[in-house]
Amino acid sequence: SQQGEEDPQALSIQEGENATMNCSYKTSINNLQWYRQNSGRGLVHLILIRSNEREKHSGRLRVTLDTSKKSSSLLITASRAADTASYFCATDAPRTDAGGTSYGKLTFGQGTILTVHP
Amino acid sequence: GAGVSQSPRYKVAKRGQDVALRCDPISGHVSLFWYQQALGQGPEFLTYFQNEAQLDKSGLPSDRFFAERPEGSVSTLKIQRTQQEDSAVYLCASSPGVVSDEQFFGPGTRLTVL
């Protein structure tokens, strides 16, 4: 079953604009990760935010996490045509049989398809 | 190698055939994951290895699916008596340790069952 749900399903913007994608999830988490997938390729890790963090930056990426609302957002600033891809959030939930730790089994959402027009 | 590799990249099988998909993780990575990604969907967890031990196979859809990692490095996902609903991209990922962290994905194997 899908834990994370991304919103919107598709986003089309012009180069230079900002892109915001949202992710909602249902259960408690250890961390939330964002991945990018170019057509026909594997996933590339973008950023990991832990449950005790609220915001994280990496280059043009900004991720927020609101555990009270069980939601996260990914902001890509000053977008480029090369940012065109599918973006997935993935959650890692604590294991009830292991004192809350986890080896990293990820539950992915259905993704947001981002198109950046030159 | 520099990253996770998978072979073959594409596999076409007739319904009822057995297939074997290979994953070469990053050298030294302890954790190895298999995911299944249907068209237009996010990946779904299949199974997890910590070194050679298969610690979680809760995502395997049926007993036709079998995975192994006998020496704690290369892993093989085998699907017996393939069905059309097995058509998907099969992704392998590895990570260095045994706790949740960034996962490094291979390019995937696209399986088409006719």
Residue B111 has pLDDT above 70, yes or no: yes
Residue B103 in any domain: the answer is no
Say how many C-beta atoms besides its own lie within 10 A of residue B79's C-beta: 24
pLDDT tens digits, one per residue of B55-107: 999 999 999 999 999 999 999 999 999 999 999 999 999 999 887 789 999 99
Asked, for residue B107, whether it belongs to a domain, the answer is no
- Alpha carbon B63 to chain centroid distance? 15
Does B113 fall in a domain? no
Contact B101 A48 (CB under 8 A): yes
Residue A2 binned pLDDT confidence (cut-offs 50, 70, 90): very low
Q: How far is B113 from chain A (nearest CA, A)?
A: 18
In three-state secondary structure terms, A82 is: helix
Which residues in chain A are contacts of B50 at CB distance < 8 A? 103
Question: In this structure, what token pair is assigned to residue A65?
Answer: 């996490």
Whether B51 is covered by a domain: the verdict is yes
Please tell me the predicted confidence (pLDDT) of residue A4.
Answer: 67
* pLDDT > 70: percent of chain A: 92
Of B40, B44, B95, the CB nearest to A104: B95
> Using 50, 70 and 90 to split pLDDT, how confident is the model at B2?
confident
Distance CA B27, CA B5 (A): 11
Q: Do B4 and A42 touch (CB under 8 A)?
A: yes
pLDDT grade for A77, boundaries at 50, 70 and 90? very high
Higher local confidence (pLDDT), A41 or B55: B55
CATH at residue B49: 2.60.40.10
CA atoms of A10 and A82, how far apart (whole Å): 16
List, in order of start, the domains of chain A with CATH numbers.
Answer: 5-93+106-117 (2.60.40.10)
Q: Is residue B30 part of a domain?
A: yes
| Residues B99, A102: C-beta atoms closer than 8 Å | yes
Please tell me the distance in Å from B18's CA to the nearest CA on chain A.
24
Q: Is residue A87's pLDDT more than 70?
A: yes
Q: Which of B31, B40, B91 lies closest to A42 in CB terms?
A: B91
**Which residues, 6 or more positions from A68, have their beta carbon under 8 angstroms from its beta carbon?**
none
Q: Give yes or no for residue B17 having a pLDDT over 60.
A: yes
The tally of domains found in chain B comes to 1
